[in-house]
Each structure stands twice: as structure tokens, then as C-alpha cells.
Structure 1
Amino acid sequence: MPKATRKNRSPFQQHDDLLSVDRTAMRPLAERMRPHTLDEMVGQRRLLAEGSALRRAVESGRIHSMILWGPPGCGKTTLALLLAQYAEAEFVAISAVLSGLPEVRAVLAEAAQRFAEGRRTVLFVDEVHRFNKTQQDAFLPHIERGTIVFVGATTENPSFELNSALLSRCRVHVMEAVSTDDIVQALQRALDDEERGLGGQGIVASAESLREIAGAADGDVRRALTLLEIAAELAADEGNSITPHTLAQVLADRTRRFDKGGEQFYDQISALHKSVRSSNPDGAVYWLARMLDGGCDPVYLARRLTRMAVEDIGLADPRALQMAVDAWDTYERLGSPEGDLALAQVAIYLASTAKSNAAYMAFNQARSDVREYGTQDVPLHLRNAPTKLMKQLGYGSGYQYDHDAAGGIALDQTAFPDAMGERVYYEPVERGLEIKLKEKLDRLRTQRRQARGED
């Protein structure tokens, strides 16, 4: 390989220059162990498998603008560096958190100058979803002209966070959380590597210890390597061996991936709701525990569980709504962690009991008719007549007091505006209490049709 000059230094060398003057002692282990080839990357087998479209493009240097969507520590930055390396392009990184439009314009101007000189630029934009529409639009003409190969990294769903113009000019590649087995492989490599890793320090760690670290990292390779580095520092006092005592100190505060306002949040509340709906109490209590563990506001969960009692259980088991409200009240009285059990209890009950969305569907259909028919007059016989004038105008005329009718129901009396005719919204299901409601309503509806001469 020719000696690196200012213009042909690899993206990793350029990246190293930005990080630290001393590239060995001062850089974190996670940075030192960043893969320098596609074969060194762990995880992402679907995306970077031998013969895959993206791998062929990278290895041939025919790279394209893209959005890398995935959780923290799955390799988005590393893949961007590799794109630049294989394409022999300049690598430039900016963060949407730290950079504004002036910085973006300066970077694009430099890229345009390189393009004029016959050199390509891979522009890596970390957390691209934090740029607003105007800032995102600034990249569009440069992507179209080929001035830059745009690589945006995001942990959020691009469909919601990026504008359609930018998405139309980039391919979206979904990256997955790295499996525990793959993270163990990365940890072992760091222990063995004498040049970039801990190989020269004589650190000893069992397979069980590495797996425990990998599990605590929760799919994040960078986090796993950071935990290993901390454990290695503590191991110096225990004969260079990473013991259970060492791990207890390092892993004392485990946290799982959870974004209280992002994609994971909505995915998990969706999983909880659908587990309740499909009568799977085990799945429901799992997702409830996941969300509580991730820091979700328990009052939000209480509100959503109450919604589930109305939408998905309904009149098949009217007790469910009261239980949900009681659990909400119990949580507000006890707080966490005691009140969490009340939420778990109601989640299990909601998932276990009979289900019906008949009331929910009936209300939606009634609202649809309200929009379609507009402001219809209330039939005279249903109007209130508190004054003499109103009675003279016919308000309340013809109303039949149901308690005086045979069977307690005036069967030939309509409850709808004349322009609409009689409607049927509520169709009980044959589950739970609605079995009895269905029998009664089917009988009454038949009798009403007969009374109106429709049967």
C-alpha cells in the first residue's frame, strides 16, 4: 500500500486524526476496535452477507446515498467509514445535534471543491432526524449532482422523521441490534488483539463473563466494549481476571434500550395492546414490564390499559373498565414500585377475559352518520316540552312512556331523525356478557321491525 498523503489517507486515518493525537493510549477501546473491513463487522448478516446487493456495491466502490436506520451501537458509523474506504473517498462527519445550517453549507462547499478536483466525498450525518426540513433540503442538490455521497444515520423511523424529498434520493437500509453471540465475538476479539485491543494486558475473562457483558449491552457493541474496558481496569486489582465480583460492580446499573418518545416506545405500546387483544396475558405482562423497566410513565400505561378495557373488552365484561380505573387509582395512591403490581394485575385480567369491540364499532359508525347527515332535527315526540308554547308547537307530541307500554318498551317508537330512519350500530358478539345482550337485542329489533310493518 502506498504511503498515505494528506489526500489519500484512509477514512479511518482521517477519523483517527480527529479523535486524538495519541491514537493508542488515549482512545477508548470501542474506538480502537472499530472494524477496518467488512469481514471484521459483527452482526448485520442480512445486510452485508456475501453476495448481498449492498456488500457488492461497497466492495466495488460503487456506493450510493443512503439512510442507515438502526439502534445505537449497531455499526452505522463504522459502515459509513467503510463505504468511504472502499470507494477511496474523503470521509466527512457532522452531527445534526451540534451542526447548524452555516456548518452544513461550509462542509458542502468543501465537498464541491473536492468534486471539482475529481475526488468524492462521503458525508456522514449522525442523528440526521434532528435536522429540520430546511436543513435536510440543503443536501438535495448536492446529492443530485453527485457532489456528495450522503449517508444519514438515524435511530428513528425515517418515514416519520425525514422529508420525502430526501428519502426519494436515498436508499434506506435497516440495521438490526447486534445479537448476544455476535457481541461475544467482538469482545473476544478485543481481548485477543494485541495491537488495538487488550491482548497485551493479560486480561482473563470466562465465556460466561463475556456473555453476561454482551447481554447487558442490549444489542449495542460500543456499549459492550466500554463495559469490557471498565471491567479490565477493575480486574487489575484482582489478578487481571474479570471475576463475578468485578462484573457485579460494572453491571450494577443495567438499562435497556427505550426511547420514551420514539419508534421503540410506539412499537412496545403496540405490542402490549395487541397482546391484550389476542388474549395473551403472558405477552401483555412482559411488554408492560419492558415499558416500566425502560422508564415509561406508569400513568400513561394506566391510561392506555383503560382504553383497552373500553375498546377491546367493552360490554363483553363491563367489570374490566372498573378494574382498569381502580388500578389507575391504586397506582396514583401507591406510586412505584407498589402500584406497578396493580397495573400488571389489570393487564393480565384484560388479556384473559372475554373480548368485544362491538361498542367501539357502534360509536364509530354513529359518528360517521353524524358527519354524513349533519344537523338533523330531533323528532317531535323525543323533544323536551317544559313550556306551554313548546307543547302547543307539538314538542313531545306522540311520545310513548315506555314503562306504561306492554313489556316495558314502546316497540313502534323510533329514536332517530326522520331523514335517517332506524339504524343498527351495536352488534354484540357471542362472548361474555354480550351473549345475553345479543339475545335480548335481536329479539327487540325483530319486534320493532314487526311493529313498523317491515317484516
Structure 2
Amino acid sequence: MNEPLAERLRPNNLDEYLSQQHLVGPKGALRQQIKSGNIPSLLLWGPPGVGKTTLANIISNETDRPFYTLSAVSSGVKDVREVIEKAKKSDGLFTTKNPILFIDEIHRFSKSQQDSLLGAVEKGWVTLIGATTENPSFEVISALLSRCQVYILKPFSEEDLIALLHRAMKEDKHIASREVKLKETEALLRLSGGDARKLLNIFEILINATEKGTEITNKLVLDKVQQNTVLYDKAGEQHYDIVSAFIKSIRGSDPNGAVYWLARMIEGGEDVKFIARRLLILASEDIGNANPTALVIANNTFQAVTTIGFPESRIILSQCATYLATSPKSNAAYMAINQAQALVKKTGNLSVPLAIRNAPTKLMKDIGYGKDYKYAHNYENNFAEAEFLPDEIKGTQLYDPGNNPRESAQREFLKKRWKAKYNY
């Protein structure tokens, strides 16, 4: 039996589909569309193993439409055009139900490949369903994005994952024949990370490595399965675990851990732009004003690897990762915006002080807009103490520079100017 357990248990209709109840539950918007048969082109965005491909198949089954599928990893513009031509011919037979074109990992399609889809989507020759683990706002061209509805799929809940294990034990003949007893599930859930496919693959490895009637415990899972988890890295199953280790190594100032986890991602076939984007975020979130050059280098890295691609990009990524790992660290800017957003949510839309309002018309000036505004460059050291926050929150300190040479200098700068108002 070569077919994996995850494939054997793949649901065929909405009633068998365990997760994503916010979309396909009784009141879910996508369920209503499926039941009505009016399916727009859409993008399914979520981490690996949450049912994107399965949902696309179910949509095809439930709406009784022809179904074409491509993988962005192995398909080019020529493949897209061939499928569209087939779909156009099918469309003559299914005039009220245009075919579905499912593209897995659509974020890996280049701009020209995505462009080749526009005409078919616009003219209704196909209903596009794209699956992506990346934010469509960054990875899908705006013309195509505007023609698609985006649905966000969430990781499986613990309840859903446990229900999936029990379904496997009950409905799969091979698993049922082993008569295992599921005593503990914490280790299985932890290793799966909300990925249903990964959970079922791990469960099958475990079942095949144990005797009939075995009692499944956390210790047994860790003993039998952990040594096999490297198998899942290559297939991208530990996508989020590996990048988490990568980011935490850099944040922890360990270039050795950083290049090791970078190598794991490269060898696992990770998208070069995904890695570079994480470095770009980290440069601001974890280094920030402690070393502003870090953001410049990370941004240049993103631009460079986007142009060059693998294998040469590995060198550029390594240079950037080791530079960021050995840079001074500060999350002061990150914490400042977090606190500011929390304050906005708490206090609502407070009024802008009159003195710093824009006054482009005479009426605005007459009612006090811009009155008493102090133009900083007219004062000594280009500074004049004023109030820039709404009255209700005046004096609130949101930015607290970190303890490193650059931000210590910032602190001294602020202390000289704001010593009477803020605690720098």
C-alpha cells in the first residue's frame, strides 16, 4: 500500500471536511457560494497541511465542474496556456459551469506566468483557485489579485487533529487492523504543528513501527518518530519550525545556528524570497535603530536574491544572516509601534491638536488650525518644545531607546530636548 494515509483519508465533500468552519461551516461564506454554485476565482492562503488542495477538490466535486490542476513548482507559461485551451474547449460543453483551474503554490509563479492567467480569468474561461502559503499581497500581481477573492485558512485546532486521528483509526483499513490504543496525544500534536498532513504521516510511521495493539503514549511517539522528522524537512513539512529556529538564532546573536538553519531551508527547497523577506523583517524588528545599516543590507539582499535566484543567492543570504546575527540588537522600534497601536485601539480617534493641524484654507486658519505652531527650524538646535499628542494622552512615552551605543546616543539627544516632559 503505497498511497499515504493523508491521501487515503482525503475528504470528498464538505460534510467530511473537518476544519475551516469559519469558511465552510453552516454559516460560512464559502459554503454558501459552493452550495449556490456561484464560485468566484479565489486564493486559499494558509500554512502547509490545512486543506487547501482538498478544499479545491471539494469545490470541484460539489459544483460538478471540470477540474484542471497545475503545480507552480513544475509548470511554466506553456503549461498554463495548454490547460487554458483545454478549459476553453470544455467550456463549450459546460456552458453554465466553467472549469476550475487549481494552481498549487501559486506564489512561486513569476509575473509573466501570472500574467498568462489574466485573460482566462477575466473572460471566465476558467475559475482560478490558487493555493499559497505566502501573503498574496506580496506574491500575487495586483491585476490578478483584484480578480480573486482571498480566503484565509487556519491551522487545525487540537480538537480537529484529534478527531482526524480517531477517523484514521476507524475508517482506514490498515490503521484499524493494527488495533492501536490512543492513550496520549500531546507529542503527536506538538510534532504536527497544526499540519494535518504531517500529523497523519507521523501517525502512519508510528503505526508501522509498532506492534499490533500498541498503546500510543507521548514517550513512544518521541522515541519512534523524532529521528524521522528530518524526512519532513525536505518536503517542506517543517516550514515554520525551521524558519522559527533561523530567526531565533539570529535574534540570539548566533551566526552558527543562523547558517545551519539557513542551509536546512536551502536544501529543503525553500523559496529564496521567503527567506529574504524574513531577514528584512528581522532587521527592523530585532535590530532596528541599534544598527540602521542592517535594514539597508537586508533590503539589498532581498533585491539581489530576487534577481539572481538559487544557487548563487545562498552566498548573499549567508552574508546577510551572519551580519544580522553579529549586529547589536534592539526591539525598541518594534515595541514602540506595538504600544502605539494598543493605545490607539484603547483611546479611539482622538483629535489632532489645533497647533499641528494642516491649514490650507483661510477658513481653517480663522478657526485656529495651525495657530501657535512652532516651526522647529526657526529655533536654536532646530528644536522648540511643543505638544504633538492629543490632549487626552499628552506626555505618553511610547519610544524607549535600547541599551546600545547608537540608541544610547538617541537617548541623550531626547533627554536634552525633552527632559521636562519625558523620562529619557
TM-score (norm 1): 0.56
Distance 1:293 1:40 in 2: 43
Is it true that 1:222 corresponds to 2:202 in the alignment?
Answer: no
Is it true that 1:90 corresponds to 2:66 in the alignment?
Answer: yes
Distance 2:29 2:22 in 1: 10
Shift of 1:307: 2.9
For 1:181, the equivalent position in structure 2 comes to: 159
Deviations 1:354-388 (A, max 9, x none): x999xxxxxxxxxxxxxxxxxxxxxxxxxxxxxxx
Query: Aligned to 1:139, what secondary structure does the other structure show?
Result: helix
For 2:290, the equivalent position in structure 1 comes to: 310
Instruction: Decide whether aligned partners of structure 1 residues 434 and 168 sit closer, same or farther in structure 2, where only a CA change above 3 A counts.
Output: closer
Deviations 1:168-187 (A, max 9, x none): 11101111111222111111
Deviations 1:157-205 (A, max 9, x none): 100111011111110111111122211111110011145x622x13313
Distance 1:260 1:186 in 2: 25
For 2:175, the equivalent position in structure 1 comes to: 198
Paired residues of 2:71 and 2:104 also in contact (CA < 8 A):
yes
Is it true that 1:295 corresponds to 2:261 in the alignment?
Answer: yes
Structure 2 residue corresponding to 1:150, chosen from 108, 128, 133:
128
Please show how residues 416-427 of structure 1 align to structure 2 within 5 Å.
422-424=380-382
Distance 1:440 1:50 in 2: 58
Shift of 1:246: 5.2
Is it true that 1:134 corresponds to 2:92 in the alignment?
Answer: no
Instruction: Decide whether aligned partners of structure 1 residues 102 and 423 sit closer, same or farther in structure 2, where only a CA change above 3 A counts.
Output: same
For 1:116, the equivalent position in structure 2 comes to: 92
Amino acid corresponding to residue 30 of structure 1 in structure 2: A
Paired residues of 2:102 and 2:129 also in contact (CA < 8 A):
yes
Distance 2:221 2:241 in 1: 29
For 1:212, the equivalent position in structure 2 comes to: 187
Shift of 1:240: 4.5
Alpha-carbon RMSD across the aligned residues, in angstroms, is 4.5
Instruction: Decide whether aligned partners of structure 1 residues 151 and 294 sit closer, same or farther in structure 2, where only a CA change above 3 A counts.
Output: farther
For 2:310, the equivalent position in structure 1 comes to: none
Distance 1:294 1:44 in 2: 35
Shift of 1:296: 5.9
Structure 1 residue corresponding to 2:2, chosen from 6, 11, 26:
26
Distance 1:443 1:247 in 2: 56
Amino acid corresponding to residue 382 of structure 2 in structure 1: V
Distance 1:193 1:205 in 2: 15
Please show how residues 5-24 of structure 1 align to structure 2 within 5 Å.
none
Query: Aligned to 1:152, what secondary structure does the other structure show?
Result: strand
For 2:308, the equivalent position in structure 1 comes to: none
Distance 2:260 2:45 in 1: 21
Shift of 1:215: 2.0
Paired residues of 1:115 and 1:121 also in contact (CA < 8 A):
yes
Instruction: Decide whether aligned partners of structure 1 residues 421 and 80 sit closer, same or farther in structure 2, where only a CA change above 3 A counts.
Output: same
Shift of 1:245: 3.3
Question: Structure 1 stretch 111-120 or stretch 95-104: which is displaced more?
Answer: 111-120
Amino acid corresponding to residue 129 of structure 2 in structure 1: V
Structure 2 unpaired stretches of 5+ = 264-278, 293-324, 338-376, 386-396
Is it true that 1:100 corresponds to 2:76 in the alignment?
Answer: yes
Over alpha carbons, which structure has the higher Rg?
1
Instruction: Decide whether aligned partners of structure 1 residues 89 and 421 sit closer, same or farther in structure 2, where only a CA change above 3 A counts.
Output: same
For 2:149, the equivalent position in structure 1 comes to: 171
Shift of 1:122: 1.1
Shift of 1:131: 1.0
Structure 1 unpaired stretches of 5+ = 1-24, 274-283, 313-342, 358-418, 446-455
Distance 1:169 1:97 in 2: 23
Q: How many residues align?
A: 301
Please show how residues 38-117 of structure 1 align to structure 2 within 5 Å.
38-117=14-93
Question: Structure 1 stretch 176-185 or stretch 94-103: which is displaced more?
Answer: 176-185
Instruction: Decide whether aligned partners of structure 1 residues 430 and 130 sit closer, same or farther in structure 2, where only a CA change above 3 A counts.
Output: closer
Amino acid corresponding to residue 287 of structure 2 in structure 1: R
Paired residues of 2:178 and 2:213 also in contact (CA < 8 A):
no
Instruction: Decide whether aligned partners of structure 1 residues 68 and 293 sit closer, same or farther in structure 2, where only a CA change above 3 A counts.
Output: farther
For 1:231, the equivalent position in structure 2 comes to: 206
Deviations 1:316-348 (A, max 9, x none): xxxxxxxxxxxxxxxxxxxxxxxxxxx8xx97x
Paired residues of 2:44 and 2:151 also in contact (CA < 8 A):
yes
